[in-house]
Amino acid sequence: MSTQASTLIKNGLWSNNAALVQILGLCPMLAVTGTVVNALGLGLATMVVLVGSNVAVSLIRNYVSEAIRLPAFVMIIASFTTCAELLMQAYTYELYQVLGIFIPLIVTNCTILGRADAFARKNPLIPSIIDGLAMSAGFLVVLVLLGAIREVIGQGTLFTNMHLIFGDMARSWEIEVFKNYPNFLFAVLPPGAFVGLGFLIAAKNFIDDRNAKKKAAMKTDEPAVSRRVRVTGNVG
């Protein structure tokens, strides 16, 4: 059980990361990662929906026939998305207005339907919850990272408007990284998100490559057996 859980967490956060490896959920990722607060808001909403849908799909997995499973999953996801939307409307209304259409569009996020169909419908409740948490956490981390990069390059600030999520005490969290920074619109617009995501994927592949090389180097350090080649018939 615990090894399975650690594999699930490792998959979700790194080796099968929804954003960097599966490259799913591109639409919200490119559209709302302009600032950290937008990315965090959408990431949390996605987390709520993904964990909820994984739980529900896992519970009903023995009662839904193959033929109608996809419509059923989409209905479940849509219900959870509506819940998340209403919750945001109630508690973080300003953020709800900023994110706009991208909250209802969580329904179409392929990561969620993908996890429901590929994992939750074949696994019991607990692993499904862990998988949902790990997958959405991996997605959330990439969203926030991309949001931070684009916010610094685009506006020269970090953690601006965090009070939209954390209330008034977060107003002082804003960091002005560069003074008198002229806004660099390219990073704020979607093309900047494409380039930023490209660099994040490249960084992940670079780290993976280096680790693989290290592993390979460790292996060759084992004591070598004699590699002398017999060249005559009488070496002794």
Partner 1 sequence: MLSKTSPHITGSNSVGKVMVTLLLTMIPGFACLVYFFSWGYLVNLILASATALAVEAAILKTRKRPVLFFLKDSSALVTAALLACALPPLAPWWLTVTGAAIAVIFGKQLFGGLGQNPFNPAMVAYALLLVSLPVFMTTRWANVDQPSSLLESLQIIFNLSASGIDGITGATPLDSYKQNIARLTSADLLVAPLFNGQWPIGWAQVNIAFLIGGLVMLWRRIITWHIPVSLLATLAVMALLFSHDADAKVPVLIHLLSGSTMLAAFFIATDPVSAATSNKGKLYYGAGIGLLIYLIRTWGNYPDATAFAVLLMNFAAPLIDHYTRPRVYGHTNAVKGYKSDD
Task: Report DSSP state, residue 12.
Answer: I
Residue 233 within binding range of partner 1, rule CB under 8 A: no
In angstroms, give the least distance from the CB of 17 to partner 1.
Answer: 22
Which CB sits closer to partner 1, 30 or 45?
Answer: 30
Of 43 and 156, CB closest to partner 1: 156
Residue 86 or 185: which CB sits closer to partner 1? Answer: 185
Closer to partner 1 by Cβ: residue 49 or 187: 187
184 is a site residue for partner 1 (CB under 8 A): yes
**Does 182 contact partner 1 by CB under 8 A?**
yes
Binding to partner 1 by residue 189, rule CB under 8 A?
yes
**C-alpha dist (Å) from residue 115 to 145, 206, 208:** 23, 26, 24
Contacting residues toward partner 1, per CB under 8 A? 182, 184-187, 189, 195
